[in-house]
Amino acid sequence: MTGKERLLATLAGERADRVPFVPNIWQWFHVNRDAGRLPADWADVPEPVAALRRLGADVMSNRDAALKYGSFC
């Protein structure tokens, strides 16, 4: 299953191949990036959505569009 399929199945009350993994790292990411405390191998990660993808999380976020179009509206 893809992350999207996994999340949609779970939301529909169906079985997924594993429990969806979507950690809430938004604040942690911004605080540590702004303070220069991200792990060295994360220096190239620009935004939390990219960090979630790097972790292998099942990402479904309205922030994907914000990154693409430059707005959260």
Q: Can you give the residue range of the structural domain that contains 31? A: 23-73
pLDDT digits (tens, 9 = 90+) for 29-67: 999 999 999 999 998 899 888 888 888 888 766 655 555
Q: Is residue 12 part of a domain?
A: no
pLDDT digits (tens, 9 = 90+) for 16-27: 999 888 788 888
Domain total of the chain = 1
State residue 35's pLDDT score: 94
Rounded to whole angstroms, what are the CA distances from 20 to 28, 52, 57, 64?
Answer: 20, 12, 8, 18
Q: Is residue 49 part of a domain?
A: yes
pTM greater than 0.75 (yes/no):
no
Which of the pair, 59 or 11, is modelled with greater confidence? 11
Q: Is residue 13 part of a domain?
A: no
